[in-house]
């Protein structure tokens, strides 16, 4: 089989992926405020719904002096890792003691300090950032609901410290200075599912705290067994701003199961906070380097076709840019959305290709087709027909999307896609016409600003050898039959090729096209979206989430 990405072409891949539009500002620059840090620790506390004692232990970065405010509160939590460290090394081990503490010839691994490099910078922009230690939950099976309960308990302590009475050990230092209705959570690895649990427990209990943004880095998704089609609602993220960073060279959560979280969130209707969802797939990034206290997860591990990051500062820069950009946007009210919808180029400090998936709140978009209707691919979600010429097309989800080994499909079982190959058995230019309504009808899409799709190349010899160089066109047709100009999708953003850790996987990315770029067709009377496979003689892609977006 012809490989889609010879290693010798990596520079071309990087160039193509990195440099397609204008440079925009970097959210990770040092902030304007001087910062300070402190910590708190209470040993062996009984916390509701955790069946064993845990430490309430956190490090706090905040604006020096805490004048002004109230400042938003961010809580970070690490994942499962050794908790006992050989003194003078970074070698960490699980413990034999229950509850899990360390023998006297070890010291406790400061897992929570591994995000100081982000927390200190964020404090400079007026955030109170708490990174909590969850060692007492580590080195045992799962524990993610307990991680959520631990985050809740820390929030209750912060309610005390923010109250007029204050409390030990801070007295009234934080009284009235912390905005507990503007809270963001970040969890890494198992901590990702932990913060998702915290968010859901909080809203199940009446939303005492205003958790408005959840960010996960390389998370697990234990609550969703891939073969079960009904997700556990404790682990969903509707009604909250959400993003997940997926290190493509993750040598621990090697199947990038965190992508299932975005897959589910992208279609959940929202009742409280209409909020965007995004997924950031980072080529080269590994699992452990996001935590400065963790050594590489697997020194013998290599990613397919793309070099794993071995330079810790390079990956920490990625962690800073996306974590700071996320919270400065969705908690701080600044605008770094370009990092998440991917319409712009990442800042220069990001030196690896990045592929985003993005949607505005599912309430705000017009989803034309995600290939989930029973009669798909012949009928679409908007109620119109899909017709094709000289094309192979079939709908797939879960294992039916699986490509030939060693490629795999790891999107959530709820995600459907069209598996498209061309040319088919017919003649003429291959195309797919997706009608937005029944024959003879049209839709007014003038209130929308963009046409978006999610797309990825299959692991298939019909795709070009040059990486990320598959391409095709899209155009609009109005009810009078006027056809707009064609936009070459692959020239806007690279169509991702199957790569990743351990096995090849096609990871869908969102590509959005300004409707203003489609000239000629009347946007008040759009009858169809047409995909024309005219750029390469043959090819094979996955296509889904064809939608119109207001921004």
| CB contact set of 349 (below 8 Å; sequence gap of 6+) | 26, 28, 317, 321
Q: Kindly tell me which of 302 and 485 has the beta carbon lying closer to other proteins.
A: 302
Q: What letters, b where the CB count within 10 A reaches 16 and e where it falls short, cover 326-354?
A: bbbbbbbeeebbbbbbbbebbbeebebbb
Secondary structure of residue 49 in the 3-state scheme: coil
Residue with the two structure tokens 């064993």: 52
Q: Kindly tell me which of 132 and 253 has the beta carbon lying closer to other proteins.
A: 253
* Cα dist from 475 to 391, 478, 531, whole Å: 17, 10, 7
Q: Which two tokens stand for residue 398?
A: 């879960």
Taking the alpha carbons at both ends of the chain, their separation in whole angstroms is 41
* Angstrom distance (rounded) from CA 427 to CA 136: 65
Residue with the two structure tokens 């995004």: 278
Q: Kindly tell me which of 227 and 427 has the beta carbon lying closer to other proteins.
A: 227
Q: How far is the CB of 174 from other proteins (least distance, A)?
A: 33
Return phi, psi of residue 525, to 5°: -140, 60
Secondary structure of residue 250 in the 3-state scheme: coil
Q: How far is the CB of 357 from other proteins (least distance, A)?
A: 21
Q: How far is the CB of 302 from other proteins (least distance, A)?
A: 7
Residue with the two structure tokens 């697990």: 220
Q: Kindly tell me which of 287 and 504 has the beta carbon lying closer to other proteins.
A: 287
Q: How far is the CB of 536 from other proteins (least distance, A)?
A: 29
* Angstrom distance (rounded) from CA 42 to CA 534: 65
Return phi, psi of residue 216, to 5°: -120, 140
Residues that bind other proteins (CB under 8 A): 7, 79-84, 91-96, 98, 103, 106, 138-142, 189-190, 218, 220, 251-255, 287, 295-302, 307-308, 310, 502
Q: How far is the CB of 298 from other proteins (least distance, A)?
A: 4
Q: Which two tokens stand for residue 266?
A: 């992208």
Q: Kindly tell me which of 91 and 551 has the beta carbon lying closer to other proteins.
A: 91
User: Is the distance from CB of 272 to CB of 239 less than 8 angstroms?
Assistant: yes
Give the torsion through C-alpha atoms of 255, 258, 264, 267, to 10 deg: -110
| CB contact set of 374 (below 8 Å; sequence gap of 6+) | none
* Angstrom distance (rounded) from CA 381 to CA 546: 10
Q: How far is the CB of 50 from other proteins (least distance, A)?
A: 17
Q: How far is the CB of 72 from other proteins (least distance, A)?
A: 28
Q: Which two tokens stand for residue 474?
A: 């899209």
Q: Kindly tell me which of 190 and 443 has the beta carbon lying closer to other proteins.
A: 190
Q: Kindly tell me which of 303 and 321 has the beta carbon lying closer to other proteins.
A: 303
Q: Which two tokens stand for residue 329?
A: 């946007």
Q: How far is the CB of 218 from other proteins (least distance, A)?
A: 7
How many Cα atoms occupy the beta-carbon half-sphere of 143 within 13 Å? Answer: 22
Q: How far is the CB of 299 from other proteins (least distance, A)?
A: 4
Q: How far is the CB of 41 from other proteins (least distance, A)?
A: 22
Query: Which burial class, exposed, middle or buried, applies to 295 when counting CB atoms under 10 A from its CB (0-12, 13-18, 19+)?
Result: middle
Q: Kindly tell me which of 291 and 463 has the beta carbon lying closer to other proteins.
A: 291
Q: Kindly tell me which of 105 and 425 has the beta carbon lying closer to other proteins.
A: 105
Q: Kindly tell me which of 252 and 545 has the beta carbon lying closer to other proteins.
A: 252
Determine the angle formed by the axes of helices 190-204 and 144-162, rounding to 10 degrees: 60
DSSP state letter for 424: -
Q: Kindly tell me which of 95 and 463 has the beta carbon lying closer to other proteins.
A: 95
Q: How far is the CB of 190 from other proteins (least distance, A)?
A: 6
* Angstrom distance (rounded) from CA 63 to CA 35: 4
């Amino acid at each position: 089989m012809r490989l889609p990405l010879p290693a010798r072409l990596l520079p071309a891949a990087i160039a193509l992926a990195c440099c397609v539009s204008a440079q925009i500002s970097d959210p990770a620059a040092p902030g304007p405020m001087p910062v300070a840090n402190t910590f708190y620790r209470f040993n062996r506390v009984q916390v509701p719904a955790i069946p064993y004692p845990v430490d309430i232990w956190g490090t706090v970065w905040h604006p020096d002096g805490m004048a002004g405010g109230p400042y938003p509160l961010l809580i970070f939590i690490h994942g499962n890792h050794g908790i006992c460290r050989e003194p003078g090394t970074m070698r960490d081990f699980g413990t034999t003691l229950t509850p899990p503490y360390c023998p006297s010839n070890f010291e406790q691994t400061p897992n929570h300090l591994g995000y100081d490099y982000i927390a200190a910078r964020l404090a400079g922009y007026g955030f109170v950032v708490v990174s909590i230690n969850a060692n007492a939950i580590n080195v045992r099976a799962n524990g993610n609901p307990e991680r959520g309960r631990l985050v809740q308990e820390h929030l209750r302590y912060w309610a005390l410290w923010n109250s007029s009475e204050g409390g030990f050990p801070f007295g009234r230092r934080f009284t009235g200075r912390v905005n507990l209705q503007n809270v963001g959570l970040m969890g890494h690895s198992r901590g990702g599912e932990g913060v998702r649990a915290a968010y859901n427990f909080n809203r199940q209990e009446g939303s005492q705290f205003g958790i408005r943004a959840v960010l996960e880095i390389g998370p697990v998704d234990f609550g969703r067994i891939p073969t079960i089609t009904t997700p556990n609602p404790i682990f969903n993220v509707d009604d909250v701003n959400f993003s997940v960073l997926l290190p493509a060279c993750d040598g621990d959560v090697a199947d990038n199961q965190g992508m299932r979280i975005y897959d589910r969130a992208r279609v959940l209707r929202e009742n409280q906070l209409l909020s965007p969802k995004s997924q950031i797939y980072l080529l080269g990034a590994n699992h452990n380097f996001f935590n400065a206290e963790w050594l590489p997860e697997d020194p013998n591990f290599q990613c397919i076709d793309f070099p794993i990051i071995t330079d810790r500062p390079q990956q920490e820069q990625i962690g800073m840019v996306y974590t700071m950009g996320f919270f400065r946007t969705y908690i701080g009210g600044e605008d770094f959305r370009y990092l998440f919808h991917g319409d712009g180029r990442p800042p220069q400090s990001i030196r690896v290709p990045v592929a985003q998936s993005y949607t505005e709140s599912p309430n705000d978009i017009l989803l034309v087709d995600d290939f989930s209707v029973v009669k798909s691919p012949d009928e679409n979600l908007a109620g119109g027909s899909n017709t094709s010429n000289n094309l192979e097309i079939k709908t797939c989800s879960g294992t039916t999307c699986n490509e030939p080994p060693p490629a795999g499909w790891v999107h959530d079982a709820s995600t459907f896609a069209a598996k498209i190959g061309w040319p088919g058995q017919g003649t003429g230019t291959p195309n797919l016409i997706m009608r937005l309504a029944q024959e003879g009808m049209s839709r007014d899409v003038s209130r929308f600003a963009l046409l978006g799709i999610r797309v990825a190349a299959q692991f298939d010899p019909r795709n070009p050898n040059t990486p990320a160089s598959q391409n095709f066109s899209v155009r609009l047709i109005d009810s009078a039959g006027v056809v707009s100009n064609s936009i070459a999708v692959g020239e806007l953003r690279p169509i991702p090729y199957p790569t990743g850790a351990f096995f090849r996987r096609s990871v869908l990315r969102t590509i959005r096209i300004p409707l203003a770029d489609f000239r000629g067709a009347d946007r008040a009377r759009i009858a169809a979206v047409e995909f024309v496979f005219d750029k390469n003689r043959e090819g094979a892609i996955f296509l889904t989430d064809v939608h119109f977006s207001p921004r």
